[in-house]
Amino acid sequence: MRWTALIWALPILFIAAGAIAQDIDDLADLDEGVVLEEPFIKGIQPNTWGMTILFGYLNVSTTLLRAEGIIVDVEFPDEASFSDMTLDGELSFAPQLRLTRTIGSHFALELGGGFALGDYFQELSGDQVNWTDPDGDNEVTENELAKGSYWIWTGELSGSWYPRGEGTFQPYLIGGVGANLYDIDSAYIDGSTSSLAFSYGVGIRLIGDELYSIRIEARNYHASLENSVGSTFLQLPNLSADQLVDFPVSRLVDQSELTQAEIDAILQLLDINPGAIDPQTPLPVPYESYETETFSSLWVSIGFEATF
């Protein structure tokens, strides 16, 4: 009887042992497949990509164009006014977008671009000369100062250094080099002008988690601007020829410095009777070139960076 019970119990024992062995094997496989996630430590994550968008203002309160004795107003057919003048910029809205790559926990490279949109105003200085057409009424009217807008398109490669590397609060130094494209909406300037630019500054990056952080940055941009002279200051009707003619961006020159052919061409353009003008009266001739303007502009911004 005992042997019979033992014989029946043996298969049950073998089956139970096999099940236990299988469970142990499954637990071992499960343990091998589990990877414990390391806790996130706030700081600059090494070898990661990021996308940064910044909204700021660029202080372009500087001279964009400077000219001496240039035409500043025309009141056809009676007069034109000439004076020393500048076109000065103002504060402009300037967002930027950057692609970031960290190198270790202390360095990063950034490839970025953006634009600045603002206004400029005209300022006159020195003595103003009013040139009057001898065939006109010789009345002088008050000048209307020019105003307009400008665009600055920017592209730059920058490097950043984070001295701390770890922690929520990350101050950094940044510097870069790139190119600017200036598009100033003014009759004085012909087309757009490009320029090499470099910058340096400081910033603060506040780490939120492994996906995002907030950035505050201030940079000083240095550039040189060499504008080309516009060809036409204003279109005027030539009554004798019954057509519109281009009054050039010009300055006054004594007739003694001009050839007779140049004098005749100017008088024809201005629809002036050659016998009506005094030989001592200066005549407007096209302006040749402008000085190169070198300036710096402070940019202050705030935005966020997404890490991936």
Tell me the pLDDT tens digit for each residue of 206-240: 999 889 999 999 999 999 999 999 989 988 776 66
Given a cut of 70, whether residue 72 has pLDDT beyond it is yes
SS3 281: coil
Q: What is the pLDDT of residue 25?
A: 57
pLDDT given at position 10 = 44
Binned at pLDDT 50, 70 and 90, residue 279 comes out as confident
The values of phi and psi at residue 266, to 5°, are -65, -45
Architecture of the domain delimited by 49-307: Beta Barrel (2.40)
Higher pLDDT, 34 or 212: 212
Contact criterion met (CB below 8 Å) for 116 and 152? yes
Q: Is the pLDDT of residue 32 over 60?
A: no
SS3 of 233-258: the string is CEEEEECCCCEEEEECCEEEECHHHC
E strands, 91-228, where? 91-93, 96-103, 107-132, 147-161, 169-184, 193-207, 212-225
Give the model's pLDDT for residue 80.
84
pLDDT in tens, 81-128: 899 999 999 999 999 999 999 999 999 999 999 999 999 999 998 778
Determine the pLDDT at residue 142.
Answer: 59
Per-residue confidence (pLDDT) for residue 75, from 0 to 100? 75
Region 131-144 average pLDDT: 59
pLDDT range class, residue 280, cuts 50, 70, 90: confident
* Residue-wise pLDDT tens digits, 147-159: 899 999 999 999 9
> pLDDT higher for 270 or 219?
219
Q: Where are the alpha helices (DSSP H) in the chain?
A: 2-33, 260-269
Q: Compute, in degrees rounded to 10, the torsion defined by CA atoms 30, 36, 37, 40.
A: 170
What is the model's pTM?
Answer: 0.80
